[in-house]
Amino acid sequence: MPTNNQRLISHEALQQDHEALLNAARARLRLAGDMPGATVAQQLELLDRLAEFELGRFLLANRGLNAEWTHRMVTYAPDDGTAAAMTALERRVVEQLPAVLATRERFGVFRQQLQGVLKPGMRLASVPSGWMGELLLLDYAAAPDVSLVGVDLDQTALDGALALAEQQGLAERLTLLRQDAWSTEWSTKVDVLASNGLNIYEPDDERVTALYRSFHEALRPGGTLVTSFLTPPPTLSPESPWKMAELDPAALALQFLLFVRIIEVKWSAFRTHAQTRAQLEQAGFVDIRFIDDRASMFPTVVARKPD
């Protein structure tokens, strides 16, 4: 099990009493009172609807996503047959909320960028690994001799990555390490390192810069980092890059009500492009370039370790 210094910051590892969580949330919402656009009664009704489906219950209990739910969210397709069994609110969450759409778009950008740098003989890593979809779902036809490394503190994430690797016929190329992202020991450096979903849970800027330094250490000279970050909304920063014309106001309002008011999600460590560039430069990276999603909510950033 992770120690106190090696904790899962995105979700809880233990089961929690669902009814107790709901009662605590109800009490908190009643105490907070009405908000613009939603009375307490409406908030409580939405809480009950959220508790009707598995994803909603997981978010209420964990205030974040684990590897499985992240993979399911980024690989979801409305025509894959799963939507028919969803509640109306669940479909709105996975198909309309701007943060979810940006996350799915970010996953596509990652795969595009990683496919573009892929060469025979490379060693690629994912930290934290999650289920490693950004690497395991690539086309390796032109690079059959690559090796893959997944690092995660959550054993269930590593188990999921192994299962997906077996499904994709890549298990023999895969090495999995249950280690902390900040202190991973790299006996063999990697050519490419992909990282998503850790810095958005870490509010300490120095810790995030230290994380980027650990990635820099993991890479061979000339190696490539592909990572991402959440940008602040306009309500929190005048430097927000959000393209409001690309966002559905009703979906954005529902997202605020669900994620901020009711769930109080933990992925709230927002940073601007300038902050992220400065952190990566402090960690030693060069040739930093940004690839925004449509609304500039969840940009991808590609950087290089100097030769």
For residues 240-265, give the mean pLDDT.
96
Q: What pLDDT does 81 receive?
A: 83
Work out the percent of the chain whose per-residue pLDDT is above 70: 95
For the chain, state the CA radius of gyration.
Answer: 20
- The overall average pLDDT reported for the chain is 93
Span 45-66, pLDDT tens digits: 999 999 999 999 999 999 999 9
Q: Residue 195, SS3? A: strand
Say how far apart CA 77 and CA 200 lie, in whole Å. Answer: 24
Q: What pLDDT does 1 receive?
A: 40
Decide if pLDDT at 6 tops 60. Answer: no
Which domains can be identified in the chain, with CATH numbers? 1-307 (3.40.50.150)
Tell me the pTM. 0.92
Decide if pLDDT at 29 tops 90. Answer: yes
- The secondary structure of 120-135 as a DSSP string is TT-EEEESS-TT-HHH
Pairing of strands 219-228, 300-304: antiparallel
AA identity, residue 36? P
Cβ burial, residue 290 (10 Å; 0-12/13-18/19+): middle
Close Cβ partners of 186 (under 8 Å, ≥ 6 residues apart):
217, 218
Q: What pLDDT does 3 receive?
A: 41
AA identity, residue 183? S
Reading the block at residue 166, the tokens are 């077996």
Reading the block at residue 39, the tokens are 């009375």
CB atoms within 10 A of CB 37: 10
Close Cβ partners of 36 (under 8 Å, ≥ 6 residues apart):
none
- Of how many residues is the chain composed? 307
For residues 177-196, give the mean pLDDT.
95
Close Cβ partners of 162 (under 8 Å, ≥ 6 residues apart):
171, 174, 176
Say how far apart CA 280 and CA 208 lie, in whole Å. Answer: 9
DSSP-derived letter for residue 306 is -
Span 172-186, pLDDT tens digits: 999 999 999 999 989
Q: What pLDDT does 30 receive?
A: 96
Q: Where are the alpha helices (DSSP H) in the chain?
A: 18-32, 40-50, 54-62, 67-74, 88-96, 98-117, 133-136, 155-167, 205-218, 249-255, 273-282
Decide if pLDDT at 258 tops 80. Answer: yes
Decide if pLDDT at 171 tops 90. Answer: yes
- The secondary structure of 137-170 as a DSSP string is TS--TT-TT-EEEEE-S-HHHHHHHHHHHHHTT-
Compute CA 234 distance to the chain's CA centroid, rounded to the nearest angstrom: 21
Q: Which residue has the higher pLDDT, 5 or 59?
A: 59
Question: Is the backbone peptide bond immediately before 128 cis, with ω within 30 degrees of 0?
Answer: yes
CB atoms within 10 A of CB 226: 25
Span 137-155, pLDDT tens digits: 999 999 989 999 999 999 9
Cα distance between the two ends of the chain: 38
Q: What pLDDT does 191 receive?
A: 98
| Residue-wise burial string across 157-181, b where 16 or more C-beta atoms lie within 10 A, e elsewhere | bbebbbebbeebebbebbebbebbb
Q: What pLDDT does 277 receive?
A: 98
Q: What pLDDT does 7 receive?
A: 57
